[in-house]
Amino acid sequence: MSTTAGAPPRFTPRTWGTLFVLCGAIFLEGIDVAMLNVALPAIRADLGLSTGELQWVVSAYVLGYGGFMLAGGRAADLFGRRRMFLVWLAVFLVVSAVGGLAGEGWLLIVARFVAGVAAAVMTPAGLSIITTGFEEGPQRNRALLVYSGTAAGGFSLGLVLGGLLSAVNWRLVLFVPAALALVILLLGAALIPATPQERTRDRRVDVLGAVTVTAAIVLLVLGVERSAHSAAGWTTATIAAGLVLAALFVLVERRSAAPLIRLGLLRSGALVRANLAGLLFAAAFFGFQFIAVLYLQELRGWSALETSLAMLAIGADAVLAPTLTPRLVERFGNAKVIVAGLVLAVVSYALFLPISTDTVYLAMFPTMIVLGVAFALAYGPLTIVATDGVAEHEQGLAGGLLYTAFQFGAALGLAACTAVLTGASGGVDGYRSALVVPIAAAAVAAVISASGLRKRVAR
């Protein structure tokens, strides 16, 4: 890679190839989640699943993904980013195919859990390949913005593809990701280079730390995700157990000679703010999508494909993230661009408040397009800040922290919106009430990010 003064960073054919493979993997993860969500009604009809069993098709993936992300990110640092990326991409390929062949609900649920674990390793591994393989500064920023735009584009396109494929056969929403994973695996084996540091690094494993933090996150995500569907006592006990294990994890890390997470990493105010803002941003984003899908399909009677097309404008960030955002970051800095994106997110959700039983799509479009711009401005720069200045041997861990925050935030936002909708009187007023959740979450995220701007001015 090379740059000239005032010119955008240039990538060599090899680095473009590596970035293409990694973008393919994050695109794969995005379409996989989105397509399966759209196909849930068809899965229920074919396999005869109850509502509770159908919920576990989603929950199993969330638990595997969110619960093992930190351990997966550290595994990439310890055992080689390229190796972990390719091995767990192969696992993802196999279990996706198994899920597509499943004739029983339990087998599909198990396959989705393992797919979540696989994604929990290969996602931070892929991110850390970028943050260690591209020079810090404009080169890395552009690579990360292209990467994050591809991730969002995958999710948006997955909504449409899911509607099309599930109309033919829901099993295609699992077979298509498996086929795409095979292509990415072959290209990755040829294009992603291994680094000497990956072969010589100390590989001591903090087993107790990995077990306690994974169990803590699994219990916390499970408690939050199931809070709207379970008794209050069960939810409280699950979350309490998760908090106890989290406290135990901190004690273990303080005494470990080779900790899973160096607690000093959390002394970075910018990193902590980026992770908190990312958690709340994901809570707002996924909470809003949940509300919008239910409003369009259950209240308005739109089909899955019509709903997917209605939300396609959010995918504008796939174009804006690698084109507009780098210029804004270069001129104003990551912090200001993040705050602008979060403020636009608040505006986009507020624009949806006037919905009624006969609102035309033209009135909903401003929400979708503004949210797409907001995502383009916030998501990529948050990724940059959350990994900026972190030592190379901890880049996988930094990526794991960020994606854990995103995943836990998504579970939190979905649970909160479900709780509001469940307790509401019904009708369009219930959806308006639930919109308070994404508006509040995005507003708090904006305040947290803006606090970093105030501290910088004070210094």
Please check whether residues 152 and 62 belong to one and the same domain.
yes
Q: For residue range 193-224, what is the model confidence (pLDDT) as tens digits?
A: 876 544 445 566 677 887 888 888 888 877 87
Please check whether residues 227 and 328 belong to one and the same domain.
no
Number of domains in the chain: 2
Please check whether residues 119 and 220 belong to one and the same domain.
no
Strand partners for 296: none
Contacts of 359 (CB under 8 A, 6+ apart): none
Please check whether residues 252 and 262 belong to one and the same domain.
no
Domain edge (last residue) among 231, 257, 283: 257
Q: Span 109-116, mean pLDDT?
A: 94
pLDDT bracket for residue 1 (50, 70, 90): very low
- Domain residue limits at 223: 206-257
| C-alpha to C-alpha distance for 120 and 115, rounded to whole angstroms | 9
Please check whether residues 115 and 130 belong to one and the same domain.
yes
Q: Span 25-31, mean pLDDT?
A: 89
Q: Span 7-27, mean pLDDT?
A: 80
DSSP per residue, 116-179: HHHHHHHHHHHHHHHHHHS-TTHHHHHHHHHHHHHHHHHHHHHHHHHHHHHHH-TTHHHHHHHH
Q: Is 49 helix (H, G, I), strand (E, B) or coil?
A: coil
| Confidence (pLDDT) at 345 | 97
Q: Span 430-454, mean pLDDT?
A: 92
Please check whether residues 17 and 114 belong to one and the same domain.
yes
| Confidence (pLDDT) at 350 | 97
Comparing C-alpha atoms, which of 311, 292, 223 is closest to residue 434? 292
Please check whether residues 239 and 265 belong to one and the same domain.
no
Q: For residue range 401-433, what is the model confidence (pLDDT) as tens digits?
A: 888 888 888 878 888 888 888 777 678 888 999
- Is residue 2, in this structure, part of any structural domain at all? no
- Is residue 201, in this structure, part of any structural domain at all? no
- Residue 371, pLDDT above cutoff 50: yes
Q: Span 378-393, mean pLDDT?
A: 87
- Is residue 6, in this structure, part of any structural domain at all? no
How many residues would you count in the chain? 459
Number of neighbouring beta carbons within 10 Å of residue 447: 13
| Confidence (pLDDT) at 110 | 94
Q: In the predicted model, what is the mean pLDDT of the chain?
A: 85
- Is residue 424, in this structure, part of any structural domain at all? yes
pLDDT bracket for residue 348 (50, 70, 90): very high
Q: For residue range 292-329, what is the model confidence (pLDDT) as tens digits?
A: 888 888 888 888 778 888 888 888 888 888 888 888 98
| Confidence (pLDDT) at 139 | 81
- Residue 156, pLDDT above cutoff 90: no
- Residues of the chain above pLDDT 90, percent: 35
Most confidently modeled range among 99-113, 218-232, 382-396: 99-113
- Is residue 64, in this structure, part of any structural domain at all? yes
pLDDT bracket for residue 362 (50, 70, 90): very high
CATH code assigned at 21: 1.20.1250.20
Torsion of CA 257, 258, 263, 264, to 10 degrees: 90
Q: Which residue has the tokens 């608040």?
A: 346
Judge whether 431 and 313 are in contact, CB under 8 Å: no
Please check whether residues 264 and 149 belong to one and the same domain.
yes
- Is residue 92, in this structure, part of any structural domain at all? yes
Judge whether 19 and 127 are in contact, CB under 8 Å: no
Higher local confidence (pLDDT), 336 or 138: 336
Higher local confidence (pLDDT), 213 or 448: 448
- Is residue 42, in this structure, part of any structural domain at all? yes
Q: For residue range 247-273, what is the model confidence (pLDDT) as tens digits?
A: 998 898 888 877 877 877 888 888 999
Domain edge (last residue) among 257, 278, 298: 257
Q: Span 23-50, mean pLDDT?
A: 85
Please check whether residues 326 and 354 belong to one and the same domain.
yes
- Residue 445, pLDDT above cutoff 90: yes
Please check whether residues 285 and 410 belong to one and the same domain.
yes
- Residue 144, pLDDT above cutoff 70: yes
Predicted TM-score (pTM) of the model is 0.82
- Is residue 1, in this structure, part of any structural domain at all? no
Please check whether residues 30 and 107 belong to one and the same domain.
yes
| C-alpha to C-alpha distance for 436 and 284, rounded to whole angstroms | 9
- Residue 6, pLDDT above cutoff 60: no
- Residue 34, pLDDT above cutoff 90: no
Q: Which residue has the tokens 């904006």?
A: 446
Contacts of 210 (CB under 8 A, 6+ apart): 71, 74, 260
| C-alpha to C-alpha distance for 401 and 249, rounded to whole angstroms | 15
| Confidence (pLDDT) at 137 | 79
| 48-52, 96-100, 112-116: least confidently modelled range | 48-52
Domain edge (last residue) among 214, 238, 257: 257
| C-alpha to C-alpha distance for 387 and 11, rounded to whole angstroms | 21
Please check whether residues 31 and 150 belong to one and the same domain.
yes
| Confidence (pLDDT) at 153 | 76
| C-alpha to C-alpha distance for 152 and 276, rounded to whole angstroms | 19
pLDDT bracket for residue 51 (50, 70, 90): low
